[in-house]
């Protein structure tokens, strides 16, 4: 949740664009250069969804599917990024949180 | 009532038959219904939702009281700066039974077993939000009258020891109340001359019938059924009884479901019949009532319904005669929310109040219900000590809408008070006693929200 976790997590992601604004933890995923959803491969999709799982602003991610968590965030007016819903609509994306298996 | 005279000349008693008053009814139990049941989810989801749902109201309450103070997250709070924190309270109680105590070799820690209250002077309150938690200290903190699960806002400063010294505390307070129908507002203080509508209409509340107990006296229950069906008393009592538009049994139909649980599929016919005897008696009593007036039945702690809150409605097969009877039996969930002529009722079977009394130094049940209205949550101790379903997308116990009447059944005695909110809300709080302990029927006047008990004590019958 702290900035240290965010920056270390960001470094792990392959091919990340540097144009991402250095914002407080909890800003969610927002690809600044916005590559189209179709151009991302499975690994990048999973990495972006993992970022959504790790964002504590939307609550604990364990035990709920990513879609349920996204819909709850919409219900609580937390404005989760719409890209996450688009990524979840892809057949290759894992519906469960990265902490569940 | 007409009577055929001996000379075949009909003689009337000169009085018209009384008809029962009617009132519109709307059910609001949707959020308590469980669809698919997933039990392997953690309760962190429920606590997160509760905090997010109540935080705007608590923050607004804090802003109204302490406009000059800024609200910060617990993790961002700076030492020795006056600030406001909002979070969920957790009460650390050393006497609270813990599953880990089974593994403790030292038997002296078994002293807490058999207690009915687990508070001690050493209890500490901890405030937790999504990021961090902090211990609350100071003489202002009302530790004895707070429980785990309440969302509150505290003002104070962090001490060098890392604890938060509280100077003031506030809660979400009462929510928005639906607009009262015209007769209610006419009776609020400060309005014009009172206009009474004849006859007065009532909702009857009772709970804890405790049917199936072999040693119990069946007379009080039969007296109550006769009273409500108009078979008891003179014209005055019958007029009063005809004003009862609906009856609600707030849990506690059976004395115990242990016999039902024991008689499994392989039990012999005699055990099965014995187990069902209590249920059949209850069904018979309810069918008499359901034939006379609209009836709502909520499940209680000892009833054959699920153990965790929200309890789902009793199955239709358990009450076949009552379900088929005339006026309509509503098998309601626990908690139960409904509207009668625009007056919003919300009630529980009492497990929530009993649990708060176990973990706080509060004895007056109506005071506990008033606190629940002010905390804006009807079961704060769930899921910590009160079993609850692990919701993730809602917390149905949050009191978004403030009711006009808030009641809890199966309490030790009758009690009532009027709670007023900051925005002019007025709530009639009723503590409905268990009928098997104190045979009482509570009548709540729909127009004035006045409430009075009718006792069916039969002890004086014995010489």
ipTM given for this complex:
0.80
Rounded Cα gap, residues B356 and A43, in angstroms: 49
List, for chain B, all residue ranges whose pLDDT scores fall below the cut of 50. Answer: 1-12, 186, 190-192, 196, 463
- Residues B187-215 have pLDDT tens digits of 555 444 555 456 789 999 999 998 988 88
Interchain CB contact of A56 with B (< 8 Å): yes
Q: Do A60 and B41 touch (CB under 8 A)?
A: no
Residue B180 DSSP code: P
List of chain B residues whose C-beta atoms are within 8 Å of the C-beta of residue A75: 393
Coil/strand/helix, residue B54: helix
Strand partners, B423: none
- Residues B138-153 have pLDDT tens digits of 999 999 999 999 999 9
Rounded Cα gap, residues A22 and A7, in angstroms: 9
Q: Do A64 and B53 touch (CB under 8 A)?
A: no
Sheet containing B451-455: give its strands across. Answer: B329-331, B295-298, B244-250, B202-206, B440-445, B451-455
The position carrying tokens 């010489």 is: B463
SS3 breakdown of chain A: % helix, strand, coil, rounded to 5? Answer: 45, 0, 50
List of chain A residues whose C-beta atoms are within 8 Å of the C-beta of residue B76: none
List, for chain A, all residue ranges whose pLDDT scores fall below the cut of 70. Answer: 1-35, 37-38
List of chain A residues whose C-beta atoms are within 8 Å of the C-beta of residue B398: none
Q: Where are the alpha helices (DSSP H) in B113-190?
A: 182-186
Rounded Cα gap, residues B43 and B384, in angstroms: 9
Q: How many beta-carbon contacts under 8 Å exist across A and B?
A: 38
Long-range contact list for B96-99, CB < 8 A, 24+ apart? B96/B359, B96/B385
Contact B367, B388 (CB under 8 A): no
List of chain A residues whose C-beta atoms are within 8 Å of the C-beta of residue B390: 63
Across the interface, of B42, B75, B131, the residue whose CB is closest to A63 is B42
Rounded Cα gap, residues B49 and B304, in angstroms: 30
Rounded Cα gap, residues B253 and B255, in angstroms: 7
Q: What is the predicted pLDDT for the residue at B260?
A: 82
Q: Do A64 and B41 touch (CB under 8 A)?
A: yes
Most distant pair of Cα atoms in chain A: their distance: 33
Q: What is the predicted pLDDT for the residue at B108?
A: 55
C-alpha distances in angstroms, A33 versus A16, A17, A30?
10, 7, 9
Q: Which of A70, A92, A55 is nearest to B392 (CA)?
A: A70
Q: Which of B309, B308, B312, B257 is nearest to B282 (CA)?
A: B257
Domain locations along chain B: 16-37+175-461, 44-105+115-170
Alpha carbons within 13 A on the beta-carbon side of B205:
31
Residue B37 DSSP code: -
The answer to whether the pTM exceeds 0.90 is no
Rounded Cα gap, residues B35 and B427, in angstroms: 31
Q: Do B45 and A60 touch (CB under 8 A)?
A: yes
Q: What is the predicted pLDDT for the residue at B14?
A: 60
Q: Which of A22, A16, B32, A17 is nearest to A6 (CA)?
A: A22
- The correct answer on CATH 3.30.720.210 for the domain covering B44-105+115-170 is no
Q: Do A60 and B52 touch (CB under 8 A)?
A: no
Q: Do B392 and A64 touch (CB under 8 A)?
A: yes
Q: Do B44 and A57 touch (CB under 8 A)?
A: no
Interchain CB contact of A62 with B (< 8 Å): yes
Pseudo-torsion of CA B365, B371, B377, B379, nearest 10°? -30
Q: What is the predicted pLDDT for the residue at B11?
A: 45
List of chain A residues whose C-beta atoms are within 8 Å of the C-beta of residue B132: none
Burial (CB count within 10 angstroms: exposed 0-12, middle 13-18, buried 19+), residue B460: exposed
Rounded Cα gap, residues B186 and B138, in angstroms: 45
Tokens of B72: 């910060």
Strand partners, A47: none
Rounded Cα gap, residues B422 and B449, in angstroms: 19
Q: Do B131 and A56 touch (CB under 8 A)?
A: yes
Contact B146, B127 (CB under 8 A): no
Interchain CB contact of B392 with A (< 8 Å): yes
Tokens of B167: 């100077």
Do B16-37+175-461 and B44-105+115-170 have matching folds?
no
From the CB of residue B234, how many other CB atoms can be counted at a distance below 10 Å? 7
Give counts: helices (H), strands (E), chain B.
9, 20
List of chain A residues whose C-beta atoms are within 8 Å of the C-beta of residue B40: 63
E strands within B159-308? 164-170, 202-206, 244-250, 295-298
* Chain A: closest CA distance from residue B40 (Å): 7
List of chain A residues whose C-beta atoms are within 8 Å of the C-beta of residue B53: 76
List of chain B residues whose C-beta atoms are within 8 Å of the C-beta of residue A62: 42, 44
Q: Which CATH number fits domain B16-37+175-461: 1.20.140.10, 3.20.20.105, 3.60.21.50, 1.10.4080.10?
A: 3.60.21.50
Interchain CB contact of B49 with A (< 8 Å): yes
Interchain CB contact of B128 with A (< 8 Å): no
Interchain CB contact of A26 with B (< 8 Å): no
């Amino acid at each position: 949740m702290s900035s240290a976790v965010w920056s270390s997590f960001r470094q792990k992601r392959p091919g990340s664009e540097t144009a991402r604004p250095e914002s407080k933890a909890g800003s969610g995923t927002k690809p600044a250069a916005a590559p189209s959803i179709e151009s991302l491969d499975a690994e990048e999709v999973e990495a972006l969804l993992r970022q959504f799982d790790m964002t504590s602003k939307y609550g604990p991610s364990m035990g709920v599917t990513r879609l349920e968590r996204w819909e709850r965030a919409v219900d609580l007016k937390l404005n989760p990024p719409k890209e996450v819903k688009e990524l979840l609509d892809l057949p290759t994306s894992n519906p469960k949180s990265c902490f569940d298996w | 009532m007409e009577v055929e005279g001996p000379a075949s000349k009909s003689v009337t008693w000169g009085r018209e038959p009384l008809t029962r008053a009617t009132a519109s009814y709307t059910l609001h139990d949707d959020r308590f219904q469980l669809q698919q049941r997933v039990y392997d989810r953690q309760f962190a989801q429920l606590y997160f939702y509760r905090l997010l749902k109540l935080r705007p109201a608590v923050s607004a309450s804090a802003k109204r009281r302490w406009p000059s103070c800024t609200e910060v997250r617990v993790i961002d709070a700076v030492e020795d700066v006056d600030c406001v924190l909002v979070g969920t309270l957790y009460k650390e109680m050393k006497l609270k039974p813990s599953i880990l105590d089974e593994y403790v070799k030292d038997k002296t820690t078994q002293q807490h077993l058999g207690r009915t209250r687990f508070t001690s002077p050493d209890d500490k309150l901890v405030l937790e939000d999504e990021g961090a938690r902090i211990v609350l200290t100071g003489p202002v903190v009302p530790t004895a009258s707070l429980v785990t699960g309440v969302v509150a806002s505290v003002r104070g400063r962090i001490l060098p020891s890392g604890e938060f010294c509280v100077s003031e505390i506030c809660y979400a307070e009462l929510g928005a109340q639906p607009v009262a129908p015209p007769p209610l507002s006419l009776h609020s203080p400060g309005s014009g001359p009172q206009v009474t509508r004849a006859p007065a209409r009532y909702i009857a509340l009772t709970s804890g019938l405790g049917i199936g107990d072999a040693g119990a006296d069946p007379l009080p229950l039969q007296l109550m059924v006769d009273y409500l069906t108009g078979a008891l008393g003179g014209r005055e009592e019958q007029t009063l009884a005809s004003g009862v538009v609906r009856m609600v049994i707030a849990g506690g139909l059976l004395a115990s479901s242990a016999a039902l649980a024991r008689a499994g599929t392989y039990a012999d016919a005699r055990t099965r019949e014995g187990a069902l005897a209590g249920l059949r008696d209850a069904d018979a009593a309810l069918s008499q009532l359901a034939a006379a007036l609209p009836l709502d039945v909520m499940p209680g702690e000892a009833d054959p319904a699920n153990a965790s809150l929200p309890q789902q409605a009793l199955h239709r097969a358990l009450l076949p005669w009552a379900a088929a009877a005339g006026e309509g039996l509503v098998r309601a969930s626990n908690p139960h929310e409904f509207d009668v002529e625009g007056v919003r009722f919300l009630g529980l079977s009492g497990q929530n109040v009993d649990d708060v009394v176990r973990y706080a130094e509060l004895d007056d049940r109506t005071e506990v219900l008033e606190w629940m209205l002010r905390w804006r949550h009807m079961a704060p101790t769930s899921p910590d000590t009160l079993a609850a379903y692990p919701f993730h997308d809602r917390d149905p116990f949050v009191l978004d809408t403030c009711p006009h009447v808030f009641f809890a059944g199966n309490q030790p005695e009758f009690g009532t008070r009027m709670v007023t909110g900051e925005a002019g809300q007025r709530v009639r709080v009723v503590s409905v006693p268990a009928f098997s302990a104190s045979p009482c029927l509570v009548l709540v006047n729909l127009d004035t929200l006045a409430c009075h008990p009718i006792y069916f004590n039969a002890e004086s019958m014995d010489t």
